Amino acid sequence: MRVRSSEVAQEEASEPPDSLAVRPPLSLKPPLTNQPAAQPAAPAPAGRTLVPFRPRGPERFPISPETERFRKRFYAEASRENWMDWRWQLRRRIKSLAELERVFALSEDERNAVHQHQGALPVGITPYYASRMSLTDATEPLRRTHIPVGQEYLKMPGEADDPLGEDGDAAVPGLVHRYPDRVLFLVTGFCSTYCRYCTRSRMVGEAGGEYSFSRGQWDQAIAYIEANPQIRDVLLSGGDPLTLADDKLDYLLGRLRAIKHVEFLRIGTKVPVVMPMRVTKALTKILKKYHPLWMSLHFTHPAELTPEVTEATTRLADAGIPLGSQTVLLKGVNDEIDVMKKLMHGLLMRRVKPYYLYQCDPISGSAHFRTSVGKGLEIIEGLRGHTTGYAVPQYVIDAPGGGGKIPLLPEYVVGRDGDDLILRNFEGGQYRYPDPQGGTGVEKMPSQTGAVKGAVRGS
């Protein structure tokens, strides 16, 4: 079913306004009494010095030196307290051509593409995430994933606006029910940054076309989950659920946790990567109430692995939230074994288990991001056996048309020789494994249990 605005209750304002409704003062007041002891800052990666951030309130985050230089250069009017306030980061997102040109030396292609843009998937970059990008090099990986280029407007054969057929599986607006025991709950169309390869590019952003989100829509989705006892797993996604204000997230998780047959809650988010200061102590206190709650974090490149992100993942992990990563394989961004290995190692160091590596979905205008499937297999082959097994994600294609995730592995079964299977290991060596097609033969033997027991007793 298509999710059309005409079918959606409009009595509640959609995001982001509600998430910004309660605006804090731009600078935090000093503590009056007995503030909790400050937490130690996350360790700095070797060879880098952290600029300590000493807030006047109870929150404490490190600021990496590059980011601090960027803040002073482009946001001199903002205090460190402003910078560490996620609502300030949202309000000050880079969204227009003028704002982009204030920070980046745009290529002509980028400038034209931004100028040409209309509708959903707008430009949106938090100042923090912009501080991680090259100001001058349009081919730098993080910049490529967030500043449009002309190729975004080319629709190639096989591409579609909704390649996964999510709209066709929407049970009610914003709730995708494809698998019997689990649902995908799209709780907002708002993100803190907009990735140019987004699978839901048709519906995210302030100008999300025919899509809209509201409290009424949430209630409709929750009523559907309540009425379907086979649903044991709810994945909150969007848009990005962590852009919701604390009270809204608390409400949503509380309603879902109150449903007896819902065993498992998950949140899919990029916020801890692009706006790590959103992971406040108040947020982790809320999340802790709703265990078992798991989180999938969207990482793209090792350049995202900053001290700020380390602090965010540490806070989430310390709140008892199992963390997994999701990464989209992107041409010219992370399609090299060394880059992927560095990212996966960095994730493990930050207590995040590499979970999925996605083949880029064939959304309209994504051809410049898509690698061959062979490239993905080559990367998995370059990881499997060459590094810690925990560091190897599952490579999947989300099948166009709604077929679900299909795992892909390099070919390790070479063939069969009689009752032996011929296998290939990570170094190319061949090994035999006994695998008789008629079974191992033990099934036909009489049970020896009694004889063995007798022998033990008599000894």
> What are the residues binding ligand SF4 (CB under 6 A)?
191, 194-195, 198, 200, 204, 238-240, 270, 298
Active site residue 182: yes
Least spacing, CB of residue 200 vs ligand SF4, in Å = 5
Which amino acid appears at position 247 of this protein?
D
Active site residue 178: yes
How far is it, in rounded angstroms, from Cα 173 to Cα 125?
28
* CB 418 within 8 Å of CB 429: no
Active site residue 200: yes
Active site residue 250: no
Least spacing, CB of residue 365 vs ligand SF4, in Å = 14
Beta bridge mates, 172: 175
408 burial class (0-12, 13-18, 19+ CB within 10 angstroms)? Answer: middle
Nearer to ligand SF4, 267 or 305 (CB): 267
How far is it, in rounded angstroms, from Cα 89 to Cα 83?
7
Nearer to ligand SF4, 41 or 309 (CB): 309
- What are the phi and psi torsion angles at 187 (to 5°)? -90, -15
* CB 125 within 8 Å of CB 193: yes
Nearer to ligand SF4, 173 or 239 (CB): 239
The catalytic position among 87, 143, 200, 270 is: 200
Q: Residue 362's closest CA among 161, 203, 149, 195? A: 161
Active site residue 179: yes
The catalytic position among 4, 23, 69, 405 is: 405
Nearer to ligand SF4, 93 or 270 (CB): 270
Least spacing, CB of residue 191 vs ligand SF4, in Å = 3
Least spacing, CB of residue 328 vs ligand SF4, in Å = 8
Nearer to ligand SF4, 78 or 297 (CB): 297
The catalytic position among 56, 95, 178, 257 is: 178
Least spacing, CB of residue 204 vs ligand SF4, in Å = 5
Nearer to ligand SF4, 182 or 270 (CB): 270
The catalytic position among 195, 196, 240, 358 is: 195
How far is it, in rounded angstroms, from Cα 84 to Cα 135?
22
Helix, strand, or coil (residue 167)? helix
Active site residue 198: yes
Q: What is the number of H-type helices and E-type strands within the chain?
A: 16, 13
The catalytic position among 18, 60, 92, 198 is: 198
The catalytic position among 69, 72, 102, 179 is: 179
Active site residue 215: no
Strand order in the sheet with 413-417: 413-417, 420-424, 430-434
- What are the phi and psi torsion angles at 150 (to 5°)? -60, -30
How many CB atoms neighbour CB 367 within 10 A? 18
Least spacing, CB of residue 277 vs ligand SF4, in Å = 16
Cα→Cα distances 78→22, 75, 200, 286, Å: 19, 5, 33, 28
Cβ-based neighbours of 404, under 8 Å, separated by 6 or more: 178, 179, 398
Beta bridge mates, 184: 176, 235
Which amino acid appears at position 415 of this protein?
G
Nearer to ligand SF4, 239 or 302 (CB): 239
Beta bridge mates, 365: none
142 Ramachandran zone, left/alpha/beta (phi>0; psi -120 to 50)? alpha
Least spacing, CB of residue 38 vs ligand SF4, in Å = 31
Residue 315: alpha-carbon gap to chain centroid:
17
Q: Give the pair of three-digit tokens for residue 455.
A: 């022998």
The catalytic position among 93, 361, 370, 395 is: 361
Least spacing, CB of residue 298 vs ligand SF4, in Å = 6
Least spacing, CB of residue 292 vs ligand SF4, in Å = 23
Nearer to ligand SF4, 194 or 299 (CB): 194
Active site residue 191: yes
How many CB atoms neighbour CB 105 within 10 A? 12
Nearer to ligand SF4, 93 or 200 (CB): 200
Q: β-pairing, 293-298 with 264-269?
A: parallel
Half-sphere exposure of 257 (CA within 13 A, CB side): 15
Residues labelled catalytic? 178-179, 182, 191, 195, 198, 200, 361, 398, 405
